[in-house]
Amino acid sequence: MIPAPAVPPRRTIARRSIGRMTSSLAVRNYRLYFWGQSISIAGTWMQTLALAFLVLRLNGGGGELGIVIAARFLPMVLLGPAGGAFADRHDKRRLLYLTQSASAGVALVFALLIALNVITMGAVLILSLTLGSLTVFDSPARQSFIPELVPRDQVPNAITLNSVSINLARVLGSVVGGGLIAAVGLAACFAINALSSVAVLVSLALMRTAELYPADRPPSEKGQVRAGLRYAWRTPALLLPLIMVTVTGTLAWEFPITLPLIAQGAFHGDASTYAAMAAVMGAGAVVGGLVVAGRAAQPTAAALAGASVGWGVAILAAASAPTLPWELAALLFVGYGSVAFNAQAKTTLQLASVPSMRGRVMALWALAWGGTTVIGGPLVGWVAQILGSRWSLVVGGLPTVAIGLVLLPALRRIDRRTLPDL
């Protein structure tokens, strides 16, 4: 009689599962990056929340809020690919020293102007444009730096855990930021964000250079931006995910605009209502990120289509929620879907691009995901003003479902051609 194979105890299975979820944290340099970014991004979310209510307190509405958010991303639209080429040619670690330090300075200026009660809508627009100009270089450097921190087989897990850290920071930043606004005022959120940048600078300083996996840096020469655009255009494994990210980034990923408007318009709430909504959405994203990080299977392009459809359905459910408790329940799934889609998209793009092009490819991702807010922000704000706040979610949910369904066959063909190479 052949004995039955031994079944590992549940505790062992749970440890293995947790180990898969957090495997890249065993790499010291990535661990430093993870915690430094988590602290800094928590401060950024405090600032994002405070900025939304600053605009509303300056007698702004949905349209004005959309314009301010759009100003934040306008430099990415104009200069994003050039920022990616710059990141490819330079030491990303040193570049992050500069961008993070400068961003802290802008946050301090915000805090001082608010504390002195001399802030104006014009100043908000100028400072938002300044932050956006820094993001042109900071975003592709941060995204393309991750594969230089871990071995190649750990890249999907590291990218997904980075999304988890962003959403953990969203929960913390939203909860603390909402409390600070109510108890102390808006200026405190900007001041704390400036201080949080120190965590990134310390984490970068403590990294061991010998344990990095640096990509080959191409020499500075003419035509590198165009070369990056041609490369993405001629590579279906990059082009189709970028199309999906462009559609969803333009219309669905506008929560800094839609959530404050829903909180005020649909549920007659205030900053604490928005903070609760953002925190719940962030909690759902953390769960989604851990689930994605724990998957042992190699990511596929077709899975991106499924993530898009699921995320769009969740957004539509949030748009139709009749009460705040139902809204919070729906936002859990919105958060889950957002990180499932975004982590899948970033992983697909990072693995499908050659290392020397990675900065330019991730600059295109940043342009598609955030830079399209220049169009989507005012559009979504205008829709909310004309049709009501709930419609700001509907105009994001429907296209997110549609683009996943339309591109699914083409993404399946990409998997059949490229999956062995990934």
Greater pLDDT, 33 or 415: 33
Q: 15-19, 34-38, 71-75, 225-229 — which is least confidently predicted?
A: 15-19
Q: Go through 224-258 and write b for each residue having 16 or more CB atoms within 10 A of its CB, e for each that does not.
A: bbebbeebbeebbbbbbbbebbbbbbbbbbbbbbb
**What does the DSSP 8-state code read for residue 370?**
I
Pick from 250, 226, 253: nearest CA to 84: 226
Domains and CATH numbers, the chain: 22-213+227-421 (1.20.1250.20)
Residue 101, pLDDT > 90, answer: yes
pLDDT at site 406: 95
Residue 308 near residue 243, CB atoms below 8 Å? no
Mean confidence (pLDDT) of the chain? 84
Residue 2, pLDDT > 80, answer: no
pLDDT at site 27: 92
pLDDT at site 422: 41
The stretch 336-363 carries a mean pLDDT of: 85
Residue 176, pLDDT > 60, answer: yes
- For 250-313, the DSSP string reads HHT--HHHHHHHHHHHTT---HHHHHHHHHHHHHHHHHHHHHHHT--SPP-HHHHHHHHHHHHH
For 394, the 3-state DSSP assignment is helix
pLDDT at site 243: 94
pLDDT band at 248 (very low <50, low <70, confident <90, very high): very high
- Identify each DSSP E strand in 39-137 by its residue range: none
Q: pTM for this one?
A: 0.70
pLDDT at site 118: 93
Calculate the CA 175 to chain-centre distance. Answer: 18
Q: How far is CA 113 from CA 105, 121, 122, in A?
A: 13, 11, 12
Question: What is the tens place of the pLDDT at every residue in 255-285?
Answer: 878 888 898 888 988 777 887 898 888 888 8
- Give percent of the chain above pLDDT 90: 36
Question: What is the tens place of the pLDDT at every residue in 136-151?
Answer: 889 888 888 888 899 8
Q: Amino acid identity, residue 19?
A: G
Query: Which residue is associated with the tokens 């003419």?
Result: 222
Q: How far is CA 248 from CA 127, 205, 264, 388, 397, in A?
A: 26, 36, 24, 20, 8
Q: How far is CA 101 from CA 94, 200, 207, 300, in A?
A: 11, 9, 17, 37
Burial of 391 (0-12, 13-18, 19+ CB in 10 A): middle
